[in-house]
Structure 1
Amino acid sequence: MTEAVAIRHVAFEDLGSFEQVLQERGIDVTYVDAGQGRLLEQVERRSPRLLTILGGPVRACETAEYPFLKEELALIDMRLSRAEPLLGICLGAQLIAAALGARVYPAESKEIGWGTVELSGTGAASPLAELTTPVLHWHGDTFDLPTGASRLASTPVCGNQAFAVGRSALGLQFHAEVLGAAVESWLIGHAFEIAQSPGVSVEEIRADTRQHASSLESQGRRFFNRWLDDVLS
């Protein structure tokens, strides 16, 4: 069976609707938890068809504090050099950018909550065209567009919300994978950050989740299916 490996940093930030798509395609999904053993060995031993690096509360620059990030950067380098399918979400996208030599740094303000992204011309011609509904944002850092990458989406706060590297690698700063039923776990896990973020409230995120999550789940599945068609063919 074809395998997909996802590197997970916190339990509630998982593959969400993307995992459902993979399972429907007969692709076995394995999570490897950061900080639990040697990431390089665990992932390379499996030789997955797809590697996804998920989001998390650490920063891409904190390699001294969190040495497992160095292993993730090494894995990214290897996947890129071999043009093997690679998806980075939030922290994962920042790590792909960093591996390609781009600067990762604090944005002017945090983006936390539901909001739309604006697609570039290239993005509108890509599988991201399936995402017309607001998506979930949860990040404080942004990054420069890596050399050789194509910008696919942006917001006023973060000019680089999505980018592609060749045909096989994709970075998404936002969360298109999240399931509405899982958002309550985000609200619990990020309670301190919400409390410290002016203009962000649990009530508003809950209300927006009720309004947008169902549409995102169906659109996210269509997006991911199209992207997999492109990179796994």
Structure 2
Amino acid sequence: MNWAASQLVPSDAPRILIILHQENSIPGRVGWMLKQRGFKLDIRRPRFGDSLPQTMDGHAGAVVFGGPMSANDKEAYIKREIDWISVPLRDDKPFLGICLGGQMLAKQLGGHVTSRVDDHVEIGYYPIEATNAGQSLLDWPSKVYQWHREGFSLPKGAELLATGASFANQAMRYGNNAYGIQFHPEVTMHMMHRWTVKASERLKLPGARSKRDHFQGRYIYDPAVEVWLDAFLDLWVGYGNDYLTHDSQVSQIAK
């Protein structure tokens, strides 16, 4: 399905809850791939007063995206979001945490979020390696786009899917439906331009890649990341039409 077709999502399509952390943040490639699959995006920004649902009855899944803040910050909305993640876990609905969102998932599950003792960061493209568990699920890209100075520990009961040299825990799964990833498959070229300009001071941090390396790396590594994301979303949430068909079948059986 092309991008134009992905805009024609029916008003009664199943919804994916999208949680963003800045006024101008967008869900990027994850958002338009979900639209391509027939889902409607329910975008909320709790930091700016948006509420979060008490159940997942009205949503097919939820994605918590990243941001420049820390999962360890004391602001009330950070704690509220971390606490809220118990809702999709309780309701056994697909949950995806990206970067900050993955760190919030780790904290909800009793893990920790910390920086490296040498203050090195991952900003740019860095290699990852799938574990045996990860390889059994998907083919993984060799390098992924990162933008973080903290990482998450692996909580009790979580399964490590991918690892890295600087930050060991790059992707995890908890139960059948909850995933946390440290990298950013959602980033578009436009987003990369914006991040490297508006947060250019972070490119000077120890371990960060130069701006030129960000864009050279995208041409080399992003095609594999896009293929991975497409396969991952198939695994994670499937297609909106399939979801509606499944609900319809359950409804018919109930009758």
Query: In structure 2, what is the equivalent of residue 92 of structure 1?
Result: 101
State the Cα distance separating 1:162 from its structure 2 match.
Answer: 0.6
With 24-33 and 153-162 compared, the bigger mean Cα shift is at: 24-33
- Secondary structure at the aligned position of 1:98 is classed as helix
1:142-153 correspondence to structure 2 within 5 Å: 142-153=151-162
State the Cα distance separating 1:229 from its structure 2 match.
Answer: 3.1
Q: Distance in 1 between matches of 2:83 and 2:21?
A: 17
- Structure 1, unmatched stretches of 5+, are none
- Quick one: which amino acid aligns to residue 48 of structure 1? H
- Secondary structure at the aligned position of 1:30 is classed as strand
1:166-181 correspondence to structure 2 within 5 Å: 166-181=175-190
Larger radius of gyration: 2
Identity rate of aligned residues, in percent? 26
Q: Distance in 1 between matches of 2:95 and 2:235?
A: 15
1:121-140 correspondence to structure 2 within 5 Å: 121-126=132-137, 129-140=138-149
Query: In structure 2, what is the equivalent of residue 110 of structure 1?
Result: 121
Query: In structure 2, what is the equivalent of residue 14 of structure 1?
Result: 26
State the Cα distance separating 1:186 from its structure 2 match.
Answer: 1.4
Matched, 1:58 2:69: yes
- Secondary structure at the aligned position of 2:223 is classed as helix
- Quick one: which amino acid aligns to residue 83 of structure 2? A
Query: In structure 2, what is the equivalent of residue 224 of structure 1?
Result: 233
What is the RMSD of the two structures over their aligned residues, measured on CA atoms?
A: 2.3
Matched, 1:35 2:64: no
With 205-214 and 78-87 compared, the bigger mean Cα shift is at: 205-214
Q: Give CA deviations for 1:8-49 in whole Å, capped at 9, x if unaligned.
A: 1135653322222211221101221242114335x7598321
Note if contact 2:55-2:88 (Cα within 8 Å) is conserved in structure 1: no
Query: In structure 2, what is the equivalent of residue 164 of structure 1?
Result: 173
Q: Distance in 2 between matches of 1:12 and 1:125?
A: 37
State the Cα distance separating 1:86 from its structure 2 match.
Answer: 0.8
**TM value normalised by structure 2:** 0.81
Note if contact 1:8-1:55 (Cα within 8 Å) is conserved in structure 2: yes
Q: Distance in 2 between matches of 1:33 and 1:46?
A: 20
State the Cα distance separating 1:5 from its structure 2 match.
Answer: 1.4
Q: Give CA deviations for 1:108-146 in whole Å, capped at 9, x if unaligned.
A: 4211111221111101111xx233242101111112111
C-alpha spacing 1:138/1:183, structure 2 compared with 1 (3 Å) = same
Note if contact 1:142-1:160 (Cα within 8 Å) is conserved in structure 2: yes
Matched, 1:71 2:80: yes
With 197-206 and 143-152 compared, the bigger mean Cα shift is at: 197-206
Note if contact 2:170-2:182 (Cα within 8 Å) is conserved in structure 1: yes
**TM value normalised by structure 1:** 0.88
Q: Distance in 1 between matches of 2:21 and 2:135?
A: 30
Q: Distance in 2 between matches of 1:193 and 1:34?
A: 25
Matched, 1:4 2:16: yes
